[in-house]
Copies of this chain bind each other. A is one copy, B any other.
Amino acid sequence: MAGKPGEFDLISTYFAPLTGDAPGAFGLADDAAVIAPPAGMEVAVTTDAMVAGVHFLADDPADAVAAKLLAVNLSDLAAMGAEPHAYTLATAWPRGIQPAWIEAFAGGLKAAQEAGGIVLVGGDTVATAGPMTLSLTAFGFVPPGEALRRGSAKPGERVYVSGSIGDAALGLRLLLAEIGAGCDAADRARLIGRYRQPTPRNALGVALRGLASSAIDISDGLAVDLGHVAAGADVDIDIDAAAIPLSEAARRLVAQEPDCAGYLYAGDDYELAFTAPPSADPALRDLTRRLDLPITAIGEVTAPAGAAGTVRVLDGTGAEIDTGGAGYRHF
């Protein structure tokens, strides 16, 4: 055969180096990869897809798109308490895409996978007449029966979140120039950075095994995602709005533009939300120190008042705050 298809050149040039010579990746040159779990470990598997113009902006930098694609999947592994191990990548590139874009995308993957402790082991590359469509499947290891589930919260437990909430949603609205006329450059950069490159909480997820009764990562919005936790466990959840941890940048922006408060529930945080009994508090304080990551109690699990699965966000007077139907709807 004279001349190989472009697919193979793309793979060998930009993607094969991302395997880090993992033996089961076979240099991305075989029909499948092989993952060998350590003795006594099972394999957690998650898939998240992103479409240009829907899940990221068409002019977002290539390396940030790559980092976000990996981060959202790492975040799902974190929410299961699984240690990141490897991933596969399916890319549908728009016809006419520039090699420089793909090179920058691969560079973004490289940085993100090094931070996340994960390597590429396989994938597929196709062309599309439509918008760029990226699908990543991530694999992590978790001991049998220790995966953090959504449906095990019990009344009397507390609800916690990691890090700060709302930064990413504010960052997106800043990018869209919908808000932030008075926002200074440093805050602007911080909030946009949190939208474009979320930080998955994998060390926390692994540490929460045996400590949290349930966990979820916040992608669609704090209230929406906690709704899944509540519905799965047949409980309700009450959130104290004043307890929700905000970054300094978010706090300043909401002080300047109070209407921005609604965006705090709009998702893309990729922080972990979890439930645990009050007895876990000392261990969680230790974790905050060890991981240098805030863990904040924001509410409690309650017995269902009516149909289970209701999340109420309450102000200081106990009145319910309208979170706007709350969060991202996919259709």
Contact = CB atoms under 8 A, between A and B. Distances in A.
A305 B15 CA distance: 31
A253 interface: no
A232 B8 CA distance: 13
Interface stretch (A34-42, A104-112, A182-190, A290-298): A34-42
A178 to B, nearest CB: 21
A274 to B, nearest CB: 11
A77 interface: yes
A43 B43 contact: yes
A311 B331 CA distance: 49
Interface stretch (A87-95, A191-199, A275-283): A87-95
Nearest to A48: B124
Nearest to A323: B1
A235 to B, nearest CB: 14
B49 A92 contact: yes
Most buried by B among A44, A216, A224: A44
B51 A43 contact: no
A54 B150 contact: no
Contacts of A247: none
A1 B224 CA distance: 7
Contact of A1 (B121, B124, B144, B309): B309
A264 interface: no
A32 B7 contact: no
Contact of A150 (B31, B131, B227, B311): B31
Given A29-B232, A216-B31, A310 B1 contact: yes
Given A7-B330, A77-B32, A330-B125, A88 B47 contact: yes
A229 B217 CA distance: 43
A289 interface: no
A80 interface: yes
B147 A34 contact: yes
A140 B331 contact: no
Interface string A43-70: 1111111110111000000000000000
Interface string A291-331: 00000000000000000011100000000000001101111
Given A33-B46, A149-B30, A309-B1, A51 B128 contact: yes
Contacts of A50: 126
Given A7-B329, A31-B76, A45-B88, 11 more contacts: A1-B224, A1-B227, A6-B331, A7-B331, A24-B42, A30-B149, A31-B46, A34-B147, A124-B135, A129-B131, A130-B133
Interface of A: 1-3, 5-7, 10, 24, 26, 29-37, 42-51, 53-55, 76-77, 79-80, 82, 88-92, 121-131, 133, 135, 137, 139-140, 142, 144, 147, 149-151, 215-217, 220, 223-224, 227-228, 232, 309-311, 325-326, 328-331
24 contacts: A1-B309, A1-B310, A3-B325, A5-B328, A5-B330, A7-B329, A7-B330, A26-B149, A29-B151, A31-B46, A31-B150, A34-B43, A36-B42, A37-B42, A37-B43, A43-B43, A47-B90, A49-B92, A49-B135, A51-B130, A54-B127, A88-B137, A90-B90, A130-B131
